[in-house]
Every structure is written in C-alpha cells, then in structure tokens.
Amino acid sequence: MGPIGMPEMVMIFIIVLLLFGAKKLPDLARGIGKSMGEFKRARDEFEQELTRASEAETNKVKEAPNKEPREV
C-alpha cells in the first residue's frame, strides 16, 4: 500500500463530512489538534525522563570506585 494521494484525501474528507456534518468539523479539528499537542508533550516528557535516567546511570557508573569482582 502506497502513500495517501489527493483522491484518497478527498474521499476521506467527504466521508468525515457526511459522518459529522459541516457544523461539527471545526470542533472535531480542534479536538484532534489538542490531542496531537498533548501526545507530543507526553512524548517529549518521556524522552526527557529517559535522557535524565540515562545520564544519572552514566554518572553513577563514573562515580563508583573501581572494585574488582570477588571470587566465589
């Protein structure tokens, strides 16, 4: 399946228009935009947390004294 072209986009728009009506399209678009913004914000926070955890682990390894493993 290839990328979505102009004919497919027009067909999707017509179906959405029929399902939701012209009056509800702005509200629907606004809701989708807010949802995408919240998703992006959550993704960015998750990436920052992973970066902080990785840096903390790296610092912990650097600060740990070099100990030779004990033989059992």
- pLDDT tens-digit readout, 19-69: 888 888 889 889 999 999 999 999 999 999 999 988 888 887 777 666 566
pLDDT at 9 over 60: yes
- Rounded Cα distance, 66 and 18, in Å: 69
Report the chain's C-alpha Rg in angstroms: 25
- Rounded Cα distance, 24 and 28, in Å: 6
- Rounded Cα distance, 68 and 72, in Å: 13
Q: What is the pLDDT of residue 68?
A: 60
Q: What is the pLDDT of residue 34?
A: 96
Contacts of 33 (CB under 8 A, 6+ apart): none
